[in-house]
Amino acid sequence: MARAAVFLDRDDTINRNADLPSEAWDGVKKGDLLKPEFAILVPGAREAIVALRSAGYAIVVITNQGGLARGGGTTRDVEAVNDELRSLVNGTEPGVDPVFGEQLIDGFYFAPHHPGGVVTHYCDDHGWRKPNGGMIRAACAELDLDPERSWMIGDKLRDIEAGMDAGIARSRSILIDPQGDAPDLARAAEMVLGSIPGGKSVEVDDPKVSPASRVTLRAVDPGFVPMRDSRTREMVEVIARGISERTGIVLHELDVDEERVEALIGTHRLAALAFMAELRRDTNRWHERQYGTPLWDLTERT
């Protein structure tokens, strides 16, 4: 079955743009980020992407790059910025450990077109250029993604319009803006994760109250009792402590009963959600190997 994805705008959604210093715009129009040394993640962006990816979503970045049409740079410049952002998100820069050892961004797509450009072959309103949904449609075809189960997050209305043009419902689109749906990507990720179907709900303490986050993984359907078997409960505990050991995330408390797993995790809420998403995924894999069915109900609900 085609995967669900979270499509992300790039500039001012995952990386800073509007507040970059003037040096970032030498030789280009302000906003045309073509210098990788100014690729700087917004606070909480890496944690948000980790949490979304760990929950099973593909992560795809789609971005208008009209600076190429305006003659400010080449595709290599855009790719250099994208590669730097990929490294920052993956945690491959010195002093930052990768999370769960995976490539976190599945793809970058960019539209170099602009109808007011000067480079002839980019001087048009191409179907890839947002608010058109061409980049999303291309990603869905190439990466086997399902737009109806996917999300769109961006800081401009054209991002939301592009998602809707490609088949992503407005109810699954999040506009990042102080007056929009969420103030930043971190909060938008919490909204997506709080809406995850699949037979469970997730509750997280406010991190301002405590340096640790209490997270609960539970069955939504009262008739679904995923851990009635004591051996299954024991294995869930073993897998949870294994995730803690390999990631270095402290597991202060772990309580497992027939219907839910509750953990007090020594980290902020997005990393705690990522931890629990990883636990859901690993325990499902084990249960499928042992019994032929997932441990947690994965039926898609909207």
Q: Going residue by residue through the chain (302 aa), what tens digit of pLDDT does each one get?
A: 789 999 999 999 999 999 999 999 999 999 999 999 999 999 989 989 988 887 889 999 999 999 999 999 999 999 999 999 999 998 755 444 455 556 789 999 999 999 999 999 999 999 999 999 999 999 999 999 999 999 999 999 999 999 999 999 999 999 999 889 999 999 999 899 877 543 333 344 444 334 578 888 876 566 667 788 888 889 999 899 888 887 778 888 899 988 889 988 887 777 787 888 888 888 888 888 888 887 875 433 32
Domain limits of the chain?
5-194, 200-291
Distances (CA, A) of 266 to 24, 200, 270: 37, 22, 12
Given the residues 9, 12, 106, 159, select the one marked as catalytic. Answer: 9
CATH superfamily for 5-194 is HAD superfamily/HAD-like (3.40.50.1000)
Predicted confidence at residue 159, as pLDDT, reads 97
**Would you call 144 a catalytic residue per the annotation?**
no
CA dist 278 and 30 (Å) reads 40
CATH of domain 200-291: 3.30.70.260
pTM for this predicted structure: 0.71
Query: Distance between CA 82 and CA 254 in Å, rounded?
Result: 39
Alpha-carbon distance of 10 to 12, in angstroms, equals 6
Q: Out of 11, 12, 106, 159, pick the active-site residue.
A: 11
Instruction: Please tell me if the domain spanning 5-194 has the same topology as the one spanning 200-291.
Output: no
Which residues sit opposite 202 in a β-bridge? 217
User: Is position 9 annotated as part of the catalytic site?
Assistant: yes
Residues 6+ apart with CB under 8 A from 290: none
